Homo-oligomer: A and B are copies of this chain.
């Protein structure tokens, strides 16, 4: 089993059958020891964060697969905190697709002249480049197309899927009395068929969940969501 990538919160191994294994770490993104799903740096290590992220990922992806949403998910192994996934290539050097239900974070930092904190945004989708050096700049459909990162047809699929998946996650949270403020998804192309797949994890590490006005930390989110 070959280590092919060391990420901020996950390591990636290549399996002999052509699939990949994602090993979830206990490192979470943030700054100065404070968790922030929008941050580009590892802010702190929380014991159990990796397994909690994997359990939530399993919870959401199992249902998405059952609903027929194309994803890279094959199976989770809680013993060693790994996720087996299908091989996929990212768009360009990687995109983050953000779906916003409430105005917070970078949306407010950019568009605060036109939006107030917590304002409803009705599943608003935007795309940013994964580019730490350039602070993950937002990018339009036209620019993605012009720079050869994806086609306008692929963008339309990405946007539609993002809304569908994010609304499903929001509905699951709502069943537990939680509100989804925003969520960050990643997509790629199936390495064999070219089909657009949902990739990466879906966990507390890439969403902002609130109970009333109180932000719910990733580990707490896992406990609430997976409680019987």
Residues of A within 8 A of B (CB): 92-93, 109-115, 121-122, 124-126, 129, 131, 133-134, 137-143, 146-149
Contact = CB atoms under 8 A, between A and B. Distances in A.
B141 A111 contact: no
Nearest to A112: B134
Given A138-B140, A140-B138, A143-B124, A129 B149 contact: no
Contacts of A124: 142-143, 146
Nearest to A123: B146
How many copies make up the complex? 2
A140 B140 CA distance: 6
Contact of A111 (B109, B110, B143): B143
27 contacts: A92-B113, A92-B114, A93-B113, A93-B114, A109-B134, A110-B129, A110-B137, A111-B129, A111-B134, A111-B139, A111-B143, A111-B147, A113-B129, A114-B147, A114-B149, A121-B146, A124-B142, A125-B142, A126-B140, A126-B142, A126-B143, A137-B138, A138-B138, A138-B139, A138-B140, A140-B141, A141-B141
